[in-house]
Amino acid sequence: MRIIVGVAGGIAAYKACHLVRNFKETGDEVRVIPTPSALNFVGAATFEALSGNPVNTSVFEGVDEVQHVRLGQEADAIVIAPATADLLARLAAGRADDLLSATVLVATCPVILSPAMHTEMWLNPATQANVELLRSRGMTVLEPASGRLTGVDSGPGRLPEPEQIADLARMVVAGGALPRDMVGRSLLVTAGGTQENLDPVRYLGNRSSGRQGFALAEVAAQRGARVRLIAGVTDALPVPAGVRVERVTSTAEMAAAVERHRAEADAIVMAAAVSDFRPARAAESKLKKGRDEGSLTAVPLVENPDILRATVLARERGEVPRGTVIAGFAAETGDAERSALEHGLAKLERKGCDLLMCNEVGVGKVFGERRNRGWLLRARPGESAAVEEVADASKHEVARAYLDALGAVTRPLQV
């Protein structure tokens, strides 16, 4: 893709360097257009070295090429990070007083803005009105992260990590501007694997990275939902902007967390790859090699709680609001009796949930990867389940398709 990375004049401008590198490492052609004030934070030479292209800030540079017209017409995407309160205001007003704002006016490609500023500036009614206006014009304005800001301040207004911005930008390019159709919705999402202790050193687990669950939480939050993420063991993934995260380790801990929060949500998505079994007893000291009693040659296992099925049963008993949509994932492999899809359809019926995504897993498939594929299975009482194939795509694109399907579930929602 031909990507323009716009950089406004805020302290978070240094993160734009990592964003440029992220795009370049995946083969994209990148042109950086900073505002004049952005060069007070990062010099033009840095952006030129990282992008391999010249850096200009004014429409009066390269006049013979009419740069703002050519760049705007040729771009496949414009990603501006950070987007300051001043830049948001100028774009909302249709200003064209530097090369970046003029290029945005010309562009017909997706425009993704990632704001970064102090909390008070972000929450100011003028900024919020500008954000809503830009969104109404088809631009994607990402929600900022919460965390440490300049100095000792902390709160919403922090620029998300470059990897997060790049993943969301690619998703927008693939599927169009993100709708804000989940405002007022409350989502509970589980993600990652779980670990069951064998002894103080070893554990039983799986290869889940948590990327799909984190992508679901992130996309839902960017679409306006209130999201609580119960995260098991993950690959040190950055926290999605605007998402409340609770960390757990074992399946029992995850089950307890879901039970605490399940009545708060109008939709529950079980994306975690929990351990189905745990040792009947975790040893208090390290187990030794050999065949003596207490060795690793024979470890009795017991089944862990079925969190998805337990949540469905809780809804049937009225412990979870009956309008709550319950969805999950099925990591399957084919065998001599059934294909992965057939196993997934059987699981949908057995669990009693409303929506299930079936993935065919294995070494080098889905777990730990950045892409996913499979089938979306939607329960239809009295009829066979609806099956929708999900083609190979990034986990953020899959998350978007999954949330679209979640919104199509006919069970009445209680917001």
Query: By C-alpha distance, which of 46, 58, 52, 60 is closest to 16?
Result: 46
**Which amino acid belongs to residue 100?**
L
Residue 150 neighbours by CB distance under 10 Å: 12
Active-site residue identified among 124, 206, 304, 372? 206
* CA-closest candidate to residue 356, choices 333, 382, 332: 332
DSSP three-state, residue 256: helix
Residue 206 annotated to the active site? yes
b/e 73-112 (16+ beta carbons within 10 angstroms → b): eebebbbbbbbbbbbbebbbeeebebbbbbbbebbebbbb
The dihedral sign for the CA sequence 120, 126, 129, 130? negative
Annotated binding-site positions: 276, 286, 305-308, 329, 347, 351
Contact 195, 205 (CB under 8 A): yes
Distance (Å, whole) CA 390 – CA 388: 6
Q: How far apart are CA 178 and CA 168, in angstroms?
A: 9
Annotated binding site for CTP: 276, 286, 305-308, 329, 347, 351
Positions marked active-site? 206
